[in-house]
Structure 1
Amino acid sequence: MFSLVKPGRLLALAVVPALLLGVGGAAVAATHTLTVTVVNRNGVKVKAGLRLVDVVSSSIYSATSGTAKKLPKGTYAVLTSVTTGNTITLSGKAVKVSGSAKLTIDARQGKGVGLAISPAPTGLERTMTMRICTRTSASEGIDASASPGTKLFIVPFASKYLGFAALGSWSDHSGTSNSYAVLHHTNGVPGGLGRTFSKGQLAAVKVVQKRGPSGSIYSDLAMQAIGSGCGDSLYAGLGGTDRPTATTVFASPGTWDVRVSSSAPTKTGETWNIGSYFAKRTVAAGKTYGLNFFNSAWGPSAQLPVTIRGRISFGLNEMFADPGFPRDGSVEGGDKAVATLDFGGKRVAGKQDKGWEPDSTYLYYTVKKAGWYTLTNTATRYYPEITFPSGMMSTTSRVTYRFQSKPNASALAGVYSAHLLPTGLSLTNKAKAGSTTKVAIRLYRSTVDPDAKRGTDPKLSKLTAQMSPDSGQTWRTVPVQKIGGTWYAMVSNPKTSAVALKVRATVAGGAYTEVTVFRAYGIG
């Protein structure tokens, strides 16, 4: 499913690996030229766009076949794609440019690219993406994808400067059935580009997609290859569903980002991606792995307050993270928040995000006196362009940090982030009335700013938990136990529709973190 992304704070910056030369700008100071002739699979000379990569500097130039391109003297990898009817042929060749160099790329020399599973999956549609890339200091590549009816070819060429990868997937795109994703990659571009994977050569990744805390009932699943030569970032969409589901992806050994995204229709009839969740996993043949997405209870992410050169900073917009992946940046957009900072019993700073500001919102404060600071951030779900699902969980979250800071310091706050993960819930994140739910309490201390000194991790001195059956009007203390190295709050479930949770983690010296999640999980 293709989704539009809401403009604003979730947009990412694209990183250009190398300077693209020859498209405007200063002319290349060179007396050497390269002329490339491209022939399609019908034997006809055609115009084709070319990507030329200097194998030493990784500088990238654009050119068009049939036209002499001025270049500095050197060795270049030449990449192109040739479409002929329902075929796509990729080619990569290395050529030395000195004087008037010439090169011919003939798509008729292309060999078919195929990936297969044995025994062959039944009732599933195969899709495939292939890439040819440069193996230089900054890799550059071109891709081609094929759904049924399109054939892929690649021209073999033995060179240490080139590589090849193909990603095949098999799915019925329903989001509820088992699927396959396999990656094959090589150094150089050999003549034999196909590969058949037996099922015994694959890992089984069991993926559960729950419902309840997301701002949508619709989600889709994908596999993205990580760090596998030319295969890095190749992507296979495996389908989407509006139901909670448990499926298995059979994947080739290697490292993958298992990706789940949620999308929702807007009130104007568009479809927006409102959140994406990533779980990086390295898998081995014959092994089984499990992943649960959309776990309750969504609360503050793993970010902590930091003081950098005497200024405290904290982001207001990471308050609804899946507790299964709190350090992966898997935060769903759509919130508004109010943060305050107190010192000596007085308010010294405050910041508000009214919802969907153009950029992420931060509270900043320049420390004037050393001592104890208390930072509180309260966020509520807010997405006026879409209608939230009825009975949505994790509607409000709050975090309070009490920590020490001082002028001119650069340090991570001496506290932990706390995350609440109820266990034993249904696929709709509900527990039975009258049952007992063990809520795992996970503590992390992470920093993303290299200027923030981590220091020694503080020692936990006290861990307390409370629950509320009535949206925070009343609170009851619940026991906390350590079982097998993990802390659990033991919650006796009421007959009301949902449970709110509150946990405080106090460390030696008196610093603490307190996290509250309203409608943390449902009853029913």
Structure 2
Amino acid sequence: MLSFLKRSRFGRGLAVAVVPALLLGVGGAAAAATHTLTVTVVNRNGAKVNAGVRLVEVSTSSSYTMRTGTAKKLPKGTYAVLTSVTTNGTITLAGKTVKVSGSSKLTIDARQGKPVGLGLSPVPKGLQHSLTMRICTRTSASDDIEASNFTASKLYVVPNSSKYLSFAALGTWSDLSGTTDSYAVLHQTTGVPGGLGKKFNSTKLAKMRVVQKRGPSGSIYSDLAVQPQTSGCGNDLYAGLGNTDKPTITTVHVTPGTWDFRVGSSATTKTNETWVIGNYFAKRTVAAGKSYNLSFFNSAWGPGSQLPVTIRGVVQFGLNDMFADPAFPGAGSVEGGDKASAALSFGGKAVAVKQDKGWEPEATHMYYTVKKAGWYTLTNTATRWYPEITFPSGMLSTTSRVTYRFQTKPNASALAGVYSVHLSPTGLSMTNKAKPGTTTKVAIKLLRGAVDPDAKRGTDPKLSKMTAQMSPDSGKTWRTVPVGKVGGTWYATVTNPKTSAVALKVRATVAGGAYTEATVFRAYGIG
């Protein structure tokens, strides 16, 4: 159950499989085309074949598509040419450059292709090997073609040393269970190499220990993938490393550099379709031989790092960032699927209200034009809601609430003088539970970041008071718990009840009386 959402607000949609970026059409520049190019492609059996071709003019980065065997009208210039040739279950990628002037011709012969492979030493046993390769144009608007051994028994590339071409290959080894060690190595070149048989020393790879917990997610299923983040041709090549319906710990060994370690959640709908419901993107730079740690699906999912802002006298606040993993507070809500209701009050009276009824076409924001200077209180309450799927029994982080009390005035452009509050219970099990009668320390993190350049950040306010409460009965009753600072971090100490879950409420008050109060219901489980 692989997940492939773009980096945007999550919407409902079917899970899809990776499709190699082969020969999808792109528009060409509008220019006088008095010259022609005819491309002939020969497969590995020596037969001429009808193939799609991508072209990029290297000086303008204008892109075109064409079919082989037919003259294509083009502006005069030098072009990078990309194509993919399938022969008896093999794929050969080729990239060449050609000068187009008059009636130009180009032949691409897949028989010149050299085998592509990546290896590890020592070879990991019992793991499935996958390989994806790509040729890119080195132009200001890069184009590429891609192939993998998911769709071909053997992969080949036609060598070319042009400075307008580059190459990348991503190899992985995994049993796809999401529970055992996996490996991912990236190799990149300028120009296209004469084949590839590179081996990597597995002891010189970086190690990322990846923990996937359970509890707050709207599904029991998750998948793990990696994508290199690089300026080269291998940027964002995708490698799925497995999926699981259980909490897991695995170590991913990768080549040094910057990677996105991606974990996604997917669920089966009531009509038996598999839908992606959320994705993490954890970008990390790693060094050879070093070890690192990542943990996903941590309790407690609560209000994100967003703060109210006033822009040219208008208070603005988004309602949809209310279920963020405390390990990734700036990334926003982890999964789509919630309803929210917000109210802004002044002088004890509501001056603005806003609702998100769930799955609105766009993100929902509250706007209010400030008429009088003074103290304003904004409260937003969000509840998990996904009518097409059935949430797991005992799901955590079902509702969250945040209240901000801050000052603003007409014509102001400023970030509210408060902090976002994030709650991270420590010492929980892999299902985000604590044992009855034990003590749980809840780390309290304060953040203050401006996302609008027009909002003056000002001086960060000084914290004057921190209080915390817990509820063993979903908010019917609340008990004050001790709060203290250890090594620069605030902690609330909770004595755990015998009930199924604990709700948490923390208020951070700053000098002058402004405050943030964050509440998470079913913040962590007991059992």
2: CA distance between counterparts of 1:4 and 1:339? 31
Match for 2:225 among 222, 227, 239?
A: 222
Q: In 2, distance between residues paired with 1:205 and 1:9?
A: 27
Q: Distance in 1 between matches of 2:55 and 2:396?
A: 52
Distance in structure 1 (CA, Å) of the matches to 2:460 and 2:368: 24
Match of 1:390 among 390, 393, 398: 393
Matched-pair contact (CA < 8 Å) for 2:434–2:526:
yes
Match of 1:10 in 2: 10
Q: Which moved more, 1:448-457 or 1:487-496?
A: 448-457
Cα distance, 1:486 vs. partner?
1.4
In the alignment, does 2:115 pair up with 1:112? yes
Counterpart residue number, 2:352: 349
Is 2:170 aligned against 1:164?
no
Amino acid at match of 1:251: V
| Equivalent-residue separation in structure 2 for 1:317 and 1:420 (angstroms) | 18
CA contact (8 A) 2:10 2:278 kept: no
Superposition deviation, residue 301 in structure 1:
1.1
Q: Which position in structure 2 is the counterpart of 1:249?
A: 252
2:212 to 199, 209, 213: 209
Matching residue's letter, 1:84: T
Structure 2 counterparts to residues 24-173 of structure 1, below 5 A = 28-147=31-150, 150-173=153-176
Sort the Cα spacing of 1:337 and 1:480 in 2 relative to 1 into closer, same or farther, 3 A: same
Report runs of 4+ in structure 1 exceeding 4 Å deviation.
2-6
In 2, Cα distance between the equivalents of 1:147 and 1:288? 30
Paired position in structure 2 for 1:513: 516
Over residues 341-381 of structure 1, what are the superposed CA-to-partner deviations in whole Å (9 max), with x where a residue is unaligned?
00121100001111222221111111112221111000111
Q: In structure 1, how many angstroms separate the alpha carbons of the residues matched to 2:324 and 2:286? A: 25
**Deviation string for 1:19-40 (max 9, x for gaps)?**
9434xxx864121222211111
Q: Residue 421 of structure 1 is aligned with which of 416, 424, 443?
A: 424
2:196 aligns to what SS in structure 1?
coil
In 2: Cα distance, 1:298 partner to 1:118 partner: 41
User: What residue is the counterpart of 1:442 in the other structure?
Assistant: 445
Q: Equivalent of 2:27, from 1, 13, 21?
A: 21
Q: Measure the CA separation in 1 of the matches of 2:455 and 2:103.
A: 55
Query: What do residues 42-94 of structure 1 show as CA deviations (whole Å, max 9, x unaligned)?
Result: 11111111111111221111111121111112211111111111111111111
Equivalent position SS for 1:108? helix
Count of matched residue positions in the alignment of Structure 1 and Structure 2: 514
Q: Deviations over 1:316-344 (max 9, x none)?
A: 11111111111123521111111000012
What residue in structure 2 maps to residue 471 of structure 1? 474
CA contact (8 A) 1:276 1:330 kept: no
What is the distance in 1 between the residues matched to 2:454 and 2:170? 40
Conserved? CA contact 1:301–1:331, under 8 Å: no
Deviates more, 1:189-198 or 1:422-431: 189-198
Q: Show the 5 A alignment for 1:261-410.
A: 261-410=264-413
Shift of 1:408: 2.1
Q: Is the 8 A contact 1:277 1:330 kept in 2?
A: no
SS in 2 for 1:114: strand
Hey, what's the Cα distance between the residues in 2 that align with 1:387 and 1:239? 23
Deviation at 1:192, TM superposition (A): 4.3
**Partner residue, 1:457:** 460
Structure 1 partner of 2:180? 177
How far is the alpha carbon of 1:455 from its aligned partner? Answer: 2.1
1:458 & 1:101 partners in 2: Cα distance? 69
Query: Residue 270 of structure 1 aligns to which amino acid in structure 2?
Result: E
2:30 & 2:323 partners in 1: Cα distance? 50
Is the 1:112–1:154 contact (alpha carbons within 8 Å) kept by the matching residues of 2? yes
Residue 175 of structure 1 deviates from its aligned partner by: 1.5
Gaps of 5+ in 1: 13-18
Identity %: 76
Is contact 2:320-2:333 (8 Å) kept? no
Query: Which residue, out of 411, 431, 435, partners 2:434?
Result: 431
Return the alpha-carbon distance in structure 2 between the equivalents of residues 235 and 75 of structure 1.
Answer: 31
Q: TM-score, normalised by structure 2?
A: 0.94
* Contact kept? 2:170, 2:234, Cα under 8 Å: yes
TM-score when scaled to structure 1?
Answer: 0.95
Q: Which amino acid is 1:302 matched to? A: S
Q: Which amino acid aligns with 1:512?
A: Y
What is the CA–CA distance in structure 2 between the aligned matches of 1:9 and 1:324, rounded to whole Å? 19
Q: Unpaired runs of 5+ in structure 2?
A: 13-24
- Displacement after TM superposition at 1:448 (Å): 2.3
Query: What letter corresponds to residue 405 of structure 1 in structure 2?
Result: T
Q: Are the equivalent residues in 2 in contact too, given 1:171–1:239 (CA < 8 A)?
A: yes
